[in-house]
Amino acid sequence: MSEKYTEMWRSLGLNLEAHQGLLAVLSDAYKGIYLSQKNRPEGMKYFDFVISEVHGRRIVEIVEEKSRGKQVFGTFCVYVPEELILAVDGLCIGLCAGADVGTEEAEKYLPRNTCALIKAFMGFKLAGLCPYVESSDLIIGETTCDGKKKAYEILNEITGKVYVMELPNMKAEEGKRLWRSEVKKLADKLTEVSGKKITLEKLNEAATVVWEKRRALQRLSALRASDPSPISGLDCLLINQVSFYDNPVRFTQMVNALCDELEGRVKNNVGVVPKGTPRILVSGSPMAIPNWKLHAIIEGSGAVAVGEESCVGERNFKTQADPQFATVEQGLEAIADRYLTINCACFTPNEGRLDDIQDMAARLHAHGVIHYALQFCTPYMVEAYKVKQRLEEKEVPFLRIETDYSMEDMGQLKTRVEAFIEVMKDGMNK
């Protein structure tokens, strides 16, 4: 990334030397994992460009939007309603991080046995490496897992700009009522920070933007059901990661343009891998950017990832709320109810997630499911038991993996994934 951004990074308070080092590592990893892939769709060029400018051009855009009076709202969870943020002309940016960065600093505040995602978002902030956190006017957290909700207290002590939504643990009527009132409270908070009231026109407009974004991602997901798969799992994972910080209207256009190209591929039987390649559904903890580890292993071992039952994946876009509301009040309730359809392991019971996994595996013609949990991510680590039980009942091959962001276990994971692919192949030949 060009030195032309140095002044901007300095004014955002980044640690310039460490930041330069981070960008160099990122760029090498991207070249090795992404640009070395064969037969990629032309439409991926846009996403390559976005990544090459992840701390450059996009931050310039954000700084410009801020100078025009817009606010930036950072989030860590797909439960935070993007529609509301857009309705106050805000920019919604996902702040989850997927790399071992600033771990030493983070461990001054957090126990070592904290999940890598939490350590990383704290680490990025503490090491002065994230221009998105520094640009945020308000950071919106949520009471999901224990690690996150306690880390938000510390993050608020450090930044002074954290607001937390209370997410229920159960989806019964009481939980629904609580969540609806939390969504209304967030609307008030956004109005307070931005100085803009949420009008019906603005809410319908914002909900339409989000609806179209989700529809484009649904379209992409459906195209992966084809054999041969017209696009790699790595590329789809990247697109889902980019969806959390790109301009949503432009992002939707580019995903739709890519889907047009992929439809042509499907029609002509063109794939990134040969027909009959073993197909894997990945399910579990979110894979924040630049966490490409498991997909790189899967696709480097002769299989293809055809779906992600994950918040950086289908959990984020599976359900929709019809974006034409009659009143603001009705709109806020419909939006709250739509978010409560997301099946995160932080809820109990969470049978809906088991149905989602089973449904995705069938719909995408997966030959097996890899359950991915970040170490110390208790909700997903524990729920893996029920996922295994359900998939065994349906005779779907299942592999359970627990890992973090380090590269130390790459060899061991590769051996396990390769052995799993052999098991899947046996099933495919029956």
Told to check if 86 binds ligand BJ8 by CB under 6 A, we report: no
Segment near ligand BJ8 (CB under 6 A); pick from 111-119, 188-196, 389-397, 401-409 = 111-119
The closest of 94, 127, 116 to 20, measured between CA atoms, is 127
Cα-Cα-Cα-Cα dihedral sign, residues 56, 62, 67, 71: negative
**Closest-CA residue to 377 (of 115, 25, 171, 169):** 115
Q: Is 238 exposed, middle or buried (0-12, 13-18, 19+ CB in 10 A)?
A: buried
Among 12, 23, 77, 101, the residue binding ligand BJ8 under the rule CB under 6 A is 77
Please say which residue, 102 or 286, places its beta carbon nearer to ligand BJ8: 286
DSSP 35: I
Rg (CA), the chain: 21
Site string for ligand BJ8, 344-363 (x = CB under 6 A): x-x-----------------
Q: Which of 44, 115, 254, 384: binder of ligand BJ8 (CB under 6 A)? A: 115
CA dihedral sign of residues 34, 39, 40, 45: positive
- Beta strands, E only, 76-188: 91-94, 138-142, 162-165
DSSP 8-state class, residue 367: S
Shortest distance, position 2 Cβ to ligand BJ8, whole Å:
33
Query: Does 342 interact with ligand BJ8 (rule: CB under 6 A)?
Result: yes
Binding mask 368-407 for ligand BJ8 (x = CB under 6 A): ------x--x-xx---------------------------
Please enumerate in sequence order all residues whose Cβ is within 8 A of that of 346, keeping only pairs 6 or more positions apart, or say none: 144, 145, 167, 169, 379
**Amino acid at residue number 264:** G
Helices (H) and strands (E) in the chain, counts: 18, 8
Shortest Cβ distance from residue 115 to ligand BJ8 (Å)?
3
Nearest residue to 121 (alpha-carbon basis) of 84, 159, 174, 82: 159
Nearer to ligand BJ8, 150 or 180 (CB): 150
Give the x-and-dash track for 234-273 against ligand BJ8 (CB under 6 A): ----------------------------------------
- Assess 198 for contact with ligand BJ8 (CB under 6 A): no
Between 101 and 346, CB nearer to ligand BJ8: 346
Burial 299-327 (b: 16+ CB within 10 A, else e): bebebbbbbbbbbbbbbbbbbebebebee
The nearest distance, CB 140 to ligand BJ8, in angstroms, is 12
79 or 124, CB closer to ligand BJ8? 79
By CB under 6 A, the count of residues binding ligand BJ8 is: 20
Minimum distance from residue 209 beta carbon to ligand BJ8 (Å): 20
Tell me if 287 sits within 8 A of 241, measured CB to CB. Answer: yes
Which one, 237 or 266, has the nearer CB to ligand BJ8? 237
CA atoms within 13 A on the CB side of 311: 24
Q: CB-wise, 135 or 144, nearer to ligand BJ8?
A: 144
Using CB under 6 A, which residues numbered 139 to 168 contact ligand BJ8?
Answer: 144-145, 147-148
Residues 266-305 that bind ligand BJ8 (CB under 6 A): 285-286
Give the residues lining the site for ligand BJ8 (CB under 6 A).
77-79, 115, 117-118, 144-145, 147-148, 285-286, 311, 342, 344, 346, 374, 377, 379-380
